[in-house]
Every structure is written in structure tokens, then in C-alpha cells.
Structure 1
Amino acid sequence: MDLIRSTSPRPLSRRLRPLAYGLVAVIGLILMLTWGALQVQVTLAGFLNGESVWSKAQKQAVVDLLGYAQSGDAARLAAFRKNYELLSSDGWARDAIASGHYDRTLIHQAFQRGKILPQAEPGMIFMLRCCTAAPHMGEAVALWRAADGPLRQLDGVAKELSDAYSRGQPDQAWLHWQLDRINGLNNDLEPLTNGFSLEVAQGAIWLGRVLFLAVFLTACVASLLWLRMAQRILSRIRGTEERYSLLFNSAADAILMVDEETGRILEANRTALQWTGRDVDNLTGEELSTFFTPLLHRADGAITGELRTADGELRPVEMRSSVTDWGTRSVRQSILRDITERVNLEQQRRIASEALASIAEGVIIAEADRRVARVNAAHIRMTGFTVQALQGLRFDDLRCLPDGSPLPNSVWDVIEAEGNWVGEVRSRRMDGTSYPELLSISAIRNPEGDVQHYVAVINNISAAKANEQRLQYMAAHDTLTGLANRAEFERRCVQAITTAERERGMAAVVFIDLDAFKAVNDSYTHAIGDHLLVKVAERIVYELGDRGVAGRIGGDEFTVLLSDLHSREQASALAGRLLTVLSAPFAVGDYELALSASIGIACFPLDGTDVPTLITNADAAMYAAKTEERNAFRFYSPRMQADARRRIALASELRKALSESEFRLMYQPTVEMRTGRIVAVEALLRWYHPQRGLIAPGEFIPMAEKLGLIRRIDQWVLQAACEQMSAWDKAGLPPLRMAVNVSANWFGQANFVDEIRMLLESRRLAPERLMLEITEGAILRLGEEMERTLHALHSLGVGVAIDDFGTGYSSMSYLKLRAIDYLKIDQSFVAGLPDDASDGAIVESMLTLCRRLDISPIAEGIETEEQHRFLLRAGCVEGQGFLYSRPVEPDVIAQLLSPGRRQNNSHLRLVPPEAG
């Protein structure tokens, strides 16, 4: 068969193959040259486009600089800078590429600024690096470099003009001189720019001619070489027909030459005549399909089918065909081999292989001594062991019980008695790793009942066990910190209580709440807050060690379970250590954050005998620590539970406060410190509970925020304040500015500004008389929404004040916004004046900042004459505090503003009527 193939038309095809390769090489070479020409054209297009952008930028830079020199318009200077940066970037990229030392990322950015096509960048880099000596290219680059000097001079003129305009209106004669300089530099640049454009265009024409000539000459040379090679190959093919005929008739396989177009037999060898029972004359001209029935086309090109013999029987044969040309006729040479014996063997093997391969589980077939004889593909995928790798090994040598011990003899006893054993084992892979496996072993016996083979079926159960463990972990742990979640913590508490009750011991639940964590979320991002919670959890776990269980039950609330205690002092010692480690600064990203914690402790059995009671009482103790001191811990006492119930009742009663009109406004005057006259009042909310009396805002405002009522309260306060202003106006009192505190919850709403506008219009109040106060934390929390709202309020005419300035976690970048009109200096800085040097320095810095930014400062909490005089000397404009007046009822404000009324407080003066 191999001999027939070597002297059949296949050797001819191999001999002609170099011709085909040569032709492919010629075509490929031409295509490569054409592609190269296209790439060069793309590069030239990039050069031309870059030249166009460069020329336009140069001309526009001159125009913008002339415009700036004549008008002083900063926008024209900015436009010049933009074009000059583009020109400088192009020049830098040119010189960097020419030097050979450059960063491709920076070059790519420079090309992007110059609007260079990305496809042209590699070619342009190559030409600027290696082709500056080419015709026209060198001249163009020289002209380009020559333009750098005038451009730098233009930049110098721009800097001189900018400095002059920053000092005021420049002298006209000097400006005319600068205009002449700009025009002169433009006259120097124009021929350089025109010459650069001309050289680039001429270079493109020259390079196009060179490329065409190179492609043409290369194609001619390659074609001549291919024709010469074809002549030599064809001369070697002559004289092969006799050798082919001899081998053709002596072949042991049947060979048929068939017309490719008609399918009729043209010639057959001696073996083909014997198998078909025909002579040459009867067989020639017959269609091959008359004798051969194809059954299967194999991937290797062979066709398996049946050949009809002389006595009518069907002979299984394998046919391989190749096509050749006899003159102008296409002929298929078909070689048929008898495969009767192979078909029988393959049928038996296929049945066994298909049965084995169709099983998704791994299968091992072992001899009676348990040595591996065969494995399927699934086993190889699972373990990496092939049959060759397992030679001489018993399959149970690679497996052990889950605890690491060898498979016991009882396994084989069960198989001997029952014929099968199923169990979980640990199996070793070829790379040395192991995995859990479900193993089923069955015995195959001979007619005498002796074990002939073992069949082991394996299943990798790693994923199932990992999923089971992961689900168990997720069900019991917090996804952020990895601590025990509420359900798991309560389960562990039940176990600890059961043990303590049985052994008459003690257990404790420690409830930890972070102080001012909301300020971190407001001032930074929630992502930073999440990272901080993870850091807190790590410190708690480190400090706790293996002495208890740590959990996170929500938000910034953590719990710790201490079991097997002997005294309450053990719990207090841990609480003290936790306060210490949690008060140390946290490094979170680029920030260093400092906070503290409040801790409550409830002990079993003194403070509760079940888990819900212990957690509730520990929470109550924590709240007491937070309310009384912060950064402290408290043990539970029954009074704390009463306080907790009072908070719950407060939440319920707060919902009715708005509808029952239990809220009232008090007004505290703001005075002009230099003259002492009242210029504004601040509306302060008070809740007069029908049973409890006056409730301070610090007690119910956080509750309102948690219940989602703060927006409704804000709206009520603003509406009541505007109504009071309208009432004072109708009473003929001088108009005052009204300051109202607004929460971030309402300030960040999309319709906030519209609501303010409609309220002012309905009361016929000037927007300038309303000042809205918002804290630093709220500004940073709202981000871009805050900036849009501030600009909208500024356009409306409503003033905005930053309340409690200097106490939040913030930068001062927002002070650059023109919409910020007032800055309220927090009373924590005023309290130490004038004796505390640090407070004095901080306040003076704030006032200097306000003067520079044209922001009106308002000092809060002024209580002494010394504080008043210090702030007045430091330049504070307005002040507010008990020195002037406490928050008072509206009628008191009306009395203070009444014309002709003399005040006992020397710092208060009436607002003159004409000021309104």
C-alpha cells in the first residue's frame, strides 16, 4: 500500500508541491508589499492629518494671542494655552522619538492630543526614528524644529501679557509693541509652516513612486524565479509511467482509477478484477457505485464501505482516494483494502469502549490482584493518572479513608460477601494533591466464582463538599467582616448558657457600638466605612483571641460572647482593652481615622437567663454608656431597661408630634458685632411634650432621622419660620435675615430648590432674607448633588451657611464654591477664647480664610465680653450667643425690634427701619 502510494499520482503531487509553494510565496510577497504600501499610506495620512492639525493650531494660537493682547480676555489666553500645549506636545514627541529614549504611553497620549490616527502611530514613530534622512523628510523635520523657537517666543509673550493684565490694564504703547512682536513671530512662522506642509506633501508623492516601483520590480523578479523552478520540476517528472504501471498491477489491494466527473471506472489492477469477478473489458466503463457502497466517512479521509464480490457477497473494505490529472481529465485513484478481520475486532472493542466511555464517572478496571488494567477518560480527568502511569500499582494504594488510614480489610470482606462496597474515601492525584471521592467497588467473577476483575467507579465530590461548607459558613457569618452573624451568635450564646447553667458558671454578652461612625460614612464614602468595619472586626478578634466569640449583628454594632467566666471583672477587663485598641487610629486607604466605642455588658444569670434578654440588656447598657460619656463601658442595670423603653415610646410619640402641633420655634438673635444691631435671627426647634415637657433637640432629632421623619420636620420648620417672617412684616417690624437649619436628607432631594422658591413666593418674601444652614458632613455626603443644589440656591438668591465649621471630617475644597455665603464658627472654638492660644489661632485662621474668600463669618456661642472683644478685633462680622440673647419667643423678638424700645443689654441695638 505504501509502495503504491509512493509511485501513484501522490508522488507527482509532492513534486508539484514546490511549484504551489512558490506561487503562494510570490502571491504572499506581493500581498505583503501591498500591505506595507498601505501601511505607509496610512502613516502618510497620519503625517498629513497631523500637519494639518499642527498648522491650524499654530495659526489659531497666533489669532488667540492677538485677541488676548487686544482684549485681555482670559478665555482667549486659555485657548492659546491649549493650542500651544498641543504644539509643544507634538515637538516633544518628535524629539523624544528621534532620541530613541521615550515612553510609548506618553508618545501615544501626545499623538492623541494631535489627533493622529492610532493606525498611523507605529509608522510615524518608525519614520521619525529612522527615516529623517529620506528625501523631503529631513527638510520637513528641519522646518518643524525651526518653528519651535518662534513658538516658545509666543509663549513668552503670552506670559508677559498675562502678568501685565494680572496687575491691571497695561500701557497701550506696550500693548502695540507686543502686537508687533506677535505679528513678527507670525511672519517668521508662516514660511516655516508653508514649507513644512509642502515638504510633507512632496515626500508623500516621492514615497508613493518608490513604493510602486518596488512592488513592480519585486513581482517581476519573483515571477521569473517561479517560472525557472517550474521548468526544472517538470523535467524530473518524465519517465514515471512504466514504474507506476508495474507497481499498480502487483499491489495486494484493489486499485481503481475512476473518472472524477462521471464516476465511471477507467482502469483497475489485478486484485480489483479478482474481487469483482470481472475482466478488464467488462469492468471498464462501469460506475464505481455499482460495486461499492460507502457506509462511513472517517475523519482521516478514508471511507469504510462494502464491495460486492463475484458470488454476490459483500466484502467490508476501506477505501482511500486521491485525485490527479490525466491530461485534461481529473481522475480519482481509489485504493480498497479488505478489513473483514478488523471490522470484527473493532465491533467488539467498540461495544466495550462505548460502554466505558459513556460513563461520566471515573472507571477503573483492575485485575484480581487489584492492579490497574484500564481506566476511562473521566478517571484521567479526575486524577491525572493514565494506564501507563498506574502500571504495577493497585488502585487502593492511591486511596485512604477520610481520616487518612488505609482502606481496611473489611472493605474486601464486604465485596466478597455482597459483591459491592460503596463509601467515601480520600484519593490522591498524580500531582500529589488529594480530593474527597465517592468510591464504588464491584467484583466480576468467572464461571467458577473466583474474582477475575474489579470494577471501581469514582466520583469527585470536592465541589459538593466545598459548597456544603461554604453554605454553612455563609449561613453563620457576616459577609463583610467574617464574624458570626446574629443567628450564629445567638446559637453560640444558647450553647454557652446551657454549659454555664449545667456547670453553675457565668457567661457575658458584650455589646459594642462605634461612636460617630455615621460621620465617617457622611464625610467619606460607604466603601471607606466598610473597610473601617473590617479593621474594627480584626482588632476585636485579635484582642479576644480564643477566649470567646465575636459577632456583627448589623451596621456598626458588634457583639462578643464570653463563656466560662468566674467574675464580672473578667468582662470589664476585656471591655477596657477593647476601648483602648478601638480608640487607636485606623489606617484606611489614604486616610487615618480615629474613633471610639461605647460598650454595654450583660451577664448570665444576673442580667438575664435567655439569649434575647441578654442581648437586649447589653444593648441598653451600651446606650447608657453612649449617652452618659462615650468611649466607656457600662454593666447593665434595671434602670437602663426603663431608659430603653422610654426611647421606644419616644419614637412612637414623635410620629404624632407633627400632627398634634407639639413643635414650636424659638428665635436667637444674631448681631453685627461692630454696632451691636440685630441683623438676623436663627429659628431653633423645640418639642413641648404634653406629659414630659420640653424635650431637647439632641434627644429627638437622631430618632427622627432613624424614623425617616426629619424631612417632614425640616419642611415644617421652614414653613413656620417663613410664616413668622411674614407676620413680623405685617406688624411693621424691620426685615431681618432668617437662618434655618436643614438636614442633608431634604437638601439632597431633586425638588428641594423648587419647594423653597414656591414657599418664598407664597409668603412674598425676598430670597435674600432666607439663610439655610447645613453641616460640613452633609456637603461631602451629597457630593455632586450638593454642588448643583448650592448653585441653584445661589441663582435664586437664598444664602447658604456652613454650620459647625471645623468640626467635620472634610476638606475645604467646597469653600471655593461661590454659592457659600456664610461660615459659622463652632462654639467649641469660641469657648476657649481669649485664653486658649490654640483656639485663638484656629479662629483667626478661619476669619482670614473668610476675608480671602469673601465669605461672611458668624461666631456661635459668645458668652463673655472678652470673647466679644477678641472676635471683634480679629475681624468677625456677626456673632450669636448668650452674651446677646438666649433663644426667645417670637413676641420677644418683636419687642426687641420695636422702634424706640431701649434694651438693657448694651450689645443689642435695634435695626433701623430704613435698613429694611
Structure 2
Amino acid sequence: MRIATTTLQRPLSRRLMPLAYALIAMIGLILALTWGTLQVQITLAGFLNGESLWSKAQKQSVIDLEAYATGGHAADLASFKQHYAVLESDRWARDAVASGNFDRGKVAQAFGRGSVIPGAIPGMIFILQHFPSAPHISAALQAWYSTDDSIAELGDIAGELQDARAGGRLSDAEIGRQRGRIHALSQYIEPRTNVFSLEIAHGAAWVGRILFGSVLGVACIAMLMWLSMARRILAGVRGTEERYRLLFDSAADAIVMIDETSGRIVDANRTASVWTGREVQGLIGDRFVHLFMQSLSRQEAGRAATNTLLGANGGTRPVETQTSLVNWGDQPVRQAIIRDISERLAMEQERRVAAEALASIAEGVIIADADRRVISTNAAHVELTGFTIHALQGKRLDETRRLPDGRPLPQSIWNDVAAGHNWLGEVQSGRSDGTSYPEQLSISAIRNAGNQVVYYVAVFTDIHEAKTNQRRLEHLARHDPLTGLVNRAEFERYCTEALAVAERERLAVAVLFIDLDAFKIVNDSYSHAIGDRLLIKVGERIRRQLSEGDVAGRIGGDEFTVLIPRLILREDARAIVSRLLAALSEPLLVDDYEIVLSASIGVSGYPLDGDNAATLIANADAAMYAAKTEERNAFRFYTPMMHADTRQRMQLATELRQALARNEFQLVFQPSVELRTGRIVAVEALLRWQHPERGEVFPAEFIPVAEGLGLIRRIDEWVMQATCAQIQAWDLAGVPPIRVAVNISARWFGHPAFVEEVSRTLQSRQLPAQRLLLEITESAMLQLGDDTERTMRTLHTLGIAVAIDDFGTGYSSMAYLKLPAVAYLKIDRSFITGLPGDTNDAAITAAMLAMSRSLGLIPIAEGIETEAQHDFLVRAGCIEGQGYLYSYPLRPEEVQHLLCPSQPQAAPRLKLVPPNRG
């Protein structure tokens, strides 16, 4: 402080003395630089002077030598030698300096002989010695060096001319030759002399610019240094006042100095100006009380008071003011410090909002001290647990909580939280009424500056409903939503567990695969809603037949599975399978409908049929398929042959897809004869599959597979196209026109585009509709429902007749016989086989023939193989018939030969059993 006081009290002249010294030093530096610049310019002037004399000497020596060669005057020779000596003297001085080891006096004398300015010779020597590579100097010296040999050759020419004239041997030819040499040397020397002169001039200009810039730069730097020094000194003079003003204006709070007597403002800092939106000069002279919204009458000196500061544009600012009385020189003033408390009020507001939010959130919150004793809770805590803060006062927050297994919360939880982690987990929490509930609990810690735990914060939620929903979702994930039985994945899990027990205890396990027979007919005949309710009742019946430990599942559609663990042998499942068949065959009442079903069941067992769940289910499925194929409403135990049949069906399905692409199908035609006359009136197109390896495959083997794969429509379309193409081929061959029957599947018959495709095929082949007869079974018509009548009417309009095939073997509906397009009734071979001996077959056949006559339908008997059958049908009034008695199915060319005997036959393969009846 003493040093500072002394500095402030020094005389102004002493404080400004460094400025004077600095100014003198700066002037001296500028003068020194100017003198140095003058010396350099003198040196360059010497260079230029020497260059001019050297260039003049070169040119004059050439002129004198050429004049001597022409006229032979001694004066010309003497003048040449004088100028040549100047050139040699300059060259010697230059080379001596370049060698680095020279006599400065001799070099100066040599340059002096060239009439160089004496004052410039030291500078020239300095430049040649130290700066031969400087810009322009190096180029000038290079041009100078390049003329040395040429100048020496001029000296040689002068000697040769002098010797030749002295001996009288100088001829005109020699003079011309020497003049040519002189002229050539002059042409070589002159441009290099010009380069030397130009580079020396450029060098002088470049050095001049460098020197000027250097002097200017040094002068500017010196001036800036002097100005900086002056600014620092003047700043030091004003330092005390500026420091005070700086502290005054940089204060974060507004400071106002008020005259104690008048109450008017005598000074204010920048913060006060910013907050009020008024310049400092505008504040000075105004009354202090005008700055606030509230009165200051109750404010006491030395004590803080809150108020509202009026700001710019009508704004306000909450502030806290504190005043104190001080002396400002001889004048008593009151210093008022105004502090902005907006942030503090905002933080208080945030704390209030946080407290209200904490009290209103749905999750329960507990705040405990470092000993885990409860000090605060929110309203949700009371609502969830029933404990008020007074009931928990002094208790630890973990006293009413346990792990789900009943153990207390372990110390490791608190250690983890104290280490900086958050703990989240499920606990069992108690209520004030003694009940408990599952709770999702999160515990975290609040630490002080020393990283010590001062509070624990626990946030919890009642998860009873969430756990209930989770269990429900888990149940749905493992069970069939319709029947409540386990789904496939859960059934396999039960199987795996049962197999593990069976392996350990050397027991057997049985897996049942149940498939309802004709369930699709129920869906199609009633509705899918009825079908779903039927499946629910089937699931209930299956469950009722099972014992404790047995598991029932639904794995899709109308397919159910049953697991029977802890058996001694696989065959021990026979009793429960029989009970299931009996229970499932009993009528089921669904809404107002009584539905009678049956089921096919396949059984596989561990360890005989497989050692894992997937294998046992697959093998039981294969056994079920065998039961459904062979009998229905029956069960079968799995045998390896069943799986072989399944693999064969899969192989057949693959090959069937390829057969369409490879055109492996072909048609044969079985004649239909008029029974009274034996005349062939029609043929029936029959499909055959010519397999490349297995030979001919009959429809009974591959048609069911095609129906299951959805290929039957494509096959039907192919048959229709091939049949119409064959009819057209027979017509072109002159075969008498006959009716051709084509079997149609229910899937294609019920397709919306069926009639249009048939009509288009007939038109494309230019065939009349009467040439085609469509055959469809009565069971297939039953599946079509209401669309059958519409299709039949359309076919009748087009003139296409329909025959009801396999009549009497399915679910007969007499209503279909009245449809317009139905013109033929085919009696199934099962009724013809027993004729005439079987009275039942005879009665049924006679009834069907009588019914067909009454309805105006033409009856066709199938499967006629004996003369007795033929005679009975003729007597009973049957119109047409087909069977092996008349002909086996024939190839197209055999049919053609049969109808046109006069045409030659390629090979005699036609066989009639018995021979043709005429």
C-alpha cells in the first residue's frame, strides 16, 4: 500500500520522463537507419557507376579492336589496350574477393583503376564478399562471369593482329576473318552486358525498397512502442479513478450513491443503469425513492428489505436493498446496494412446485435419513399403505418391507446404494391393516459435498394389478385362447418334462393326437361361430376324461393332443383312448343345434416311438391319419409303416406338382352303352397319371393328395381342356358325335369363374354344349351350399347337362335333383355289385330307377360286370350303363376305332369283356 501511495504522489514531470527518453532513443534509431541506408545507396551507386564504366570499356574495346583490324592504326591498338586493362583490373578484383583470401588495399586500387566512386568501393567489396547470392546480384555476377572467356579472346585477337602486321602477313582474308571473330564476340558480349546492367539496376531498386520498408517498419514499431509506453503511463496516472470506477461499474449488484440531505442520486453504477433502463446521467439528480414501486419509509439502515425495482418499458424486478451511511470526501452520502432476487424467488417457487408435485404423484415416496429412519412421505404413500407420517416417525423404511420370499432386505442393497448405485426390485410391503401387496421399489441416495449419504429416497408402486396382467399374458402365451387348453409350445414343454421323469424312473409316456371327423362340414353348414363353440365343448369333454397329471392341448384347428405320463406300457393308454372316442361320439348341444361328431385318434409312446416331444407328436399325427384313412371314429397305435406312408404322401405331393409342369397326365375313355341296343352313346373321360418311374398311377391314389394341396382345380382345368381338344380331334377324324362326360370337383364347380371357363373352352374348340356332360358327386354338391342352384341355372341356360355321380352313397338331398341342369343320375357301383341276388341292392336300385323316371332323369348304372346285372337293369328300366362287361377304359385311338371300325387301327389293343355286344 505504501508503494502504491508513493507512486500516486510522484510529480507528473518525473512520471513523464520515460516518454522523453523513449522519444530520443527512437529519433536516434531512425537517424542510424537513415545513415545505413545512405551507405548502401552509395555502394549501389558505385556498382552502377562501375557497371557503366565496365560496360563502356567492353564496348569501346571491341570498337577499337575492329578499327585496328581494319586500319592498322597504333592509336586504335593503344586505346584497345587501355580499355582492356580496365576490364582485366575489374575481373581480377572480382575474382580476388570471390576467393575469400585477398588484399583489401589492392582490390580497392583495382576497382579504383576502373574509375569507381571511392566511397562505394568498401560497400562493393562487402556485397561481393558476403552477398554474392542476393537477388539480382547473383544474376548480374553470372552475366559478368560469362563474358570472361570472350574478353580474353579479344586480347588474343589483338595479339594476333599485332604480330601479323609486324610481320607483314595480314591479308584481306585474314582481316575479314578476324573482324568476323570480333563481331561474333561482340554479339555474344553485348546482351550479357545488358543483362549485367539491368540486374544491377533492379538490385539497386530492390535494395532501395527493402531499406525504405525497413526504415519505415522500424520507425512504426518505435512509434507504436512509444505510444504504448505513453498509454501505460497515462493509464497509470488515471489508475486510481479508473480502478474505483471499474469496481463500481462491474459489481453484480446495483449501487447507488444518495445525498443524505436531499435524497437525490449523486452517482450510480452500470448495473443500476441496465436494470432501470436509464443512462447514469439520467439517474443523477433524480430522487432515490422514484426507483421503486413500494415505499422505503420502513427500511432501516444496515438491514435488508425487499422491494420491486421499476425497469425499462414498464418492467419490474424483485430486489433486496441494503443501505449504509458513508463519507464521500466532506460530503455524507448513503450507499444503497440493490441485489436482484429473481433467481432466489424462482428457486423457492421451484421448491414449492417440487413439493406439491411430490405430494401429488401417484407413486409413493419416502425420504429417510442416513440411518434409514423415515422423516417424510407423500400423500400417495398414505393412500397405498395406510401409514401416516406420524405412524412411521422414527421407524426404518425397511421395517414394513420384505423380499418376495419373506426374507428381510439384505445389507448388500444399502451397500450398493451407498456406493452410488440405484437399487430397483420387487418387495412385499405391509399395510396398516396387516395385509400385504407386491411393490416395485426403487432406492437411491442423496449425498453432501463430502460424498456422504445424508438421505435415502425410496419410490414405490403397487404392482398387484400389473402382476395379475402379467400372469394373464403368460397364461395366454402358453394356452389356446379359445379352449383354454395348452398350446403346442407348452404341450411340448410338458412332454419334455414327462419324458425326463419317465427316463429316470423307467416308465412309459403316451401322446394322443385327436382330429375331429367332418368338422369342416359343421363350419360350412352352420357357421364358424358355432364351430368355435363346438371346439370349446370338445375341449371340455376331453378334459373330463383325463386323470390328474394328464395334459390336454389344442395345437390348431380341430386338432387336439393329450399327454398321459407315468404309464407302464404304451398300450395302457387304450382305456382312456376308448373313453375319449365314446365321449366325443355323443351328441353335442351347441346353441339350438344338436351336432353329432366323431374323432380319429393316433397314439405314440415313449420309449418305443420316440424320445422327444416333437417326434412323439409327429408319430401320433401319422397314426391319426392312418385311423382317419382306414376307418374314422377309431384309433391306431403308431407303427413305422405309418410314417413311411406319410413320407410317401409327401413325395407324391412333390411329384404331383411336377406332373402338371411336365405334362405327365393323360386321358382314357370308358364307353357308356344304351342297355337295350348295346349302342355306344357316350364315353366318360378318366384321368390317368403316367409316372416316369412308377408307371400308371390311378386317381384314387393321387386325387385326395391334389385336393389337400389345392391343385385339384388346375387338374380339372387340364382335364376339361384335354377333353374338348379330343372331342374336336374326333370330329375332324370323322368319328360319329357322342356325348363325353367329365368329372368335376366341388372346388372348381363352386369357383365363380367355373361356368365362364367351361363356356370359353367350348367356344375355343367350336363345340356344341350338348357334347359335354359334367359329372359331380352329390356329396360335393352338398358342400357348395346356396351357390349350387345359381350355377346349375347358368349351365342350363348354356345347354350344358349335369349328371349326379355316386348317387345314394353320400348325404343325399332330393332338392338337388330338381335343379334345371341336372339331366342324368348315375347309380353307384356299390348298388350294382349285389345284383340281382341281393334283395336290398335290388330294391334300392329299382327305387332309384323309378325316381329318375318320375323326375325325367336319364339313369346310368356304373360298374356292370355280368350279364345277370345287365338283364336286371334292362328289366328295371335303366337306360344306360357302363362297366367292364362292355369295355375297359380305352385310349383315344381305340375309341376312334371302336366307333369307326372301317378305319385302320395302329395296333390291336382294343379289348371288350365280353366281346362287342353289337
How high is the TM-score relative to the length of structure 2?
Answer: 0.51
Please report how far the alpha carbon of residue 892 of structure 1 lies from its aligned counterpart in structure 2 after TM superposition. Answer: 5.3
5+ residue gaps in structure 1? 1-305, 317-342, 446-450, 911-916
Query: Cα 1:663–1:590, aligned 2, differ >3 Å: closer, same or farther?
Result: farther
Report what 1:697 is aligned to.
Answer: 699
Query: Cα 1:869–1:619, aligned 2, differ >3 Å: closer, same or farther?
Result: same
Q: How does 1:242-281 map to 2 (within 5 A)?
A: none
Report what 1:500 is aligned to.
Answer: 502
Query: Cα 1:589–1:307, aligned 2, differ >3 Å: closer, same or farther?
Result: farther
Please report how far the alpha carbon of residue 704 of structure 1 lies from its aligned counterpart in structure 2 after TM superposition. Answer: 1.5
Which is greater in Rg? 2
Query: Cα 1:309–1:389, aligned 2, differ >3 Å: closer, same or farther?
Result: same
Report what 1:619 is aligned to.
Answer: 621
Q: What is the alpha-carbon distance in structure 2 between the residues aligned to residue 309 and residue 876 of structure 1?
A: 128
Q: What is the alpha-carbon distance in structure 1 between the residues aligned to residue 806 and residue 891 of structure 2?
A: 24
Q: What is the alpha-carbon distance in structure 2 between the residues aligned to residue 440 and residue 782 of structure 1?
A: 64
CA deviations over 1:461-487 (Å, ceiling 9, x no partner): 245434543443344334444333333
Q: What is the alpha-carbon distance in structure 2 between the residues aligned to residue 680 and residue 503 of structure 1?
A: 70
SS at match of 2:545: helix
Q: What is the alpha-carbon distance in structure 2 between the residues aligned to residue 315 and residue 846 of structure 1?
A: 118
Please report how far the alpha carbon of residue 768 of structure 1 lies from its aligned counterpart in structure 2 after TM superposition. Answer: 1.9
CA deviations over 1:195-232 (Å, ceiling 9, x no partner): xxxxxxxxxxxxxxxxxxxxxxxxxxxxxxxxxxxxxx
Q: What is the alpha-carbon distance in structure 2 between the residues aligned to residue 456 and residue 701 of structure 1?
A: 72
Counterpart among 459, 462, 469 of residue 461 in structure 2: 459
Report what 1:48 is aligned to.
Answer: none
1:608 aligns with 2:577: no
Counterpart among 620, 636, 639 of residue 638 in structure 2: 636
1:376 aligns with 2:385: no
Q: How does 1:517-556 map to 2 (within 5 A)?
A: 517-521=519-523, 523-556=525-558
SS at match of 1:643: helix
Q: What is the alpha-carbon distance in structure 2 between the residues aligned to residue 762 and residue 412 of structure 1?
A: 88
Counterpart among 563, 568, 571 of residue 570 in structure 2: 568
Q: How does 1:309-458 map to 2 (within 5 A)?
A: 350-351=352-353, 353-357=355-359, 359-363=361-365, 375-376=378-379, 424-425=426-427, 436-439=438-441, 457-458=459-460
How high is the TM-score relative to the length of structure 1?
Answer: 0.51
SS at match of 2:496: helix
Please report how far the alpha carbon of residue 657 of structure 1 lies from its aligned counterpart in structure 2 after TM superposition. Answer: 2.7
SS at match of 1:735: coil
Q: What is the alpha-carbon distance in structure 2 between the residues aligned to residue 314 and residue 823 of structure 1?
A: 112
Equivalent pairs counted in the alignment come to 575
Mapped contact 1:740–1:772 kept (Cα < 8 A): yes
Mapped contact 1:714–1:742 kept (Cα < 8 A): yes
Mapped contact 2:430–2:437 kept (Cα < 8 A): yes
Please report how far the alpha carbon of residue 766 of structure 1 lies from its aligned counterpart in structure 2 after TM superposition. Answer: 0.7
Instruction: With a CA cutoff of 8 Å and minimum separation of 6, indicate the structure with the bigger relative contact order.
Output: 1
Q: How does 1:865-876 map to 2 (within 5 A)?
A: none
1:472 aligns with 2:474: yes
Please report how far the alpha carbon of residue 647 of structure 1 lies from its aligned counterpart in structure 2 after TM superposition. Answer: 2.3
Query: Cα 1:568–1:660, aligned 2, differ >3 Å: closer, same or farther?
Result: same
Please report how far the alpha carbon of residue 583 of structure 1 lies from its aligned counterpart in structure 2 after TM superposition. Answer: 2.8
Report what 1:587 is aligned to.
Answer: 589
1:578 aligns with 2:558: no
Please report how far the alpha carbon of residue 820 of structure 1 lies from its aligned counterpart in structure 2 after TM superposition. Answer: 4.1
Residue 744 of structure 2 aligns to which amino acid in structure 1? V
1:682 aligns with 2:704: no
Report what 1:657 is aligned to.
Answer: 659
Query: Cα 1:878–1:750, aligned 2, differ >3 Å: closer, same or farther?
Result: same
Q: What is the alpha-carbon distance in structure 2 between the residues aligned to residue 541 and residue 889 of structure 1?
A: 57
Query: Cα 1:702–1:413, aligned 2, differ >3 Å: closer, same or farther?
Result: closer
Mapped contact 1:523–1:810 kept (Cα < 8 A): no
Please report how far the alpha carbon of residue 416 of structure 1 lies from its aligned counterpart in structure 2 after TM superposition. Answer: 15
SS at match of 1:771: strand
Q: What is the alpha-carbon distance in structure 2 between the residues aligned to residue 431 and residue 894 of structure 1?
A: 100
Residue 514 of structure 2 aligns to which amino acid in structure 1? I
Q: What is the alpha-carbon distance in structure 2 between the residues aligned to residue 486 and residue 671 of structure 1?
A: 56
5+ residue gaps in structure 2? 1-291, 300-304, 309-344, 448-452, 904-910
SS at match of 1:609: coil
Please report how far the alpha carbon of residue 691 of structure 1 lies from its aligned counterpart in structure 2 after TM superposition. Answer: 3.5
Mapped contact 1:523–1:808 kept (Cα < 8 A): no
Query: Cα 1:546–1:350, aligned 2, differ >3 Å: closer, same or farther?
Result: same
Report what 2:135 is aligned to.
Answer: none
Identity of aligned residues (%): 58
CA deviations over 1:339-384 (Å, ceiling 9, x no partner): xxxx99x97994464231453413468999999996535x688x59
Residue 770 of structure 2 aligns to which amino acid in structure 1? E
Report what 2:147 is aligned to.
Answer: none
1:722 aligns with 2:745: no
Residue 482 of structure 1 aligns to which amino acid in structure 2? G
1:803 aligns with 2:805: yes
Q: How does 1:124-203 map to 2 (within 5 A)?
A: none
CA deviations over 1:695-743 (Å, ceiling 9, x no partner): 3322211212233322222122112222332333334443222221122
Report what 2:158 is aligned to.
Answer: none
SS at match of 1:559: strand
Report what 1:706 is aligned to.
Answer: 708
Please report how far the alpha carbon of residue 811 of structure 1 lies from its aligned counterpart in structure 2 after TM superposition. Answer: 6.1
| Alpha-carbon RMSD | 5.5
Q: What is the alpha-carbon distance in structure 1 between the residues aligned to residue 586 and residue 465 of structure 2?
A: 42
SS at match of 2:619: helix
Report what 2:560 is aligned to.
Answer: 558
SS at match of 1:546: coil
SS at match of 2:511: strand
SS at match of 1:544: coil
Please report how far the alpha carbon of residue 847 of structure 1 lies from its aligned counterpart in structure 2 after TM superposition. Answer: 5.8
Please report how far the alpha carbon of residue 767 of structure 1 lies from its aligned counterpart in structure 2 after TM superposition. Answer: 0.9
Mapped contact 1:519–1:809 kept (Cα < 8 A): no
CA deviations over 1:259-290 (Å, ceiling 9, x no partner): xxxxxxxxxxxxxxxxxxxxxxxxxxxxxxxx
Q: What is the alpha-carbon distance in structure 2 between the residues aligned to residue 843 and residue 375 of structure 1?
A: 94
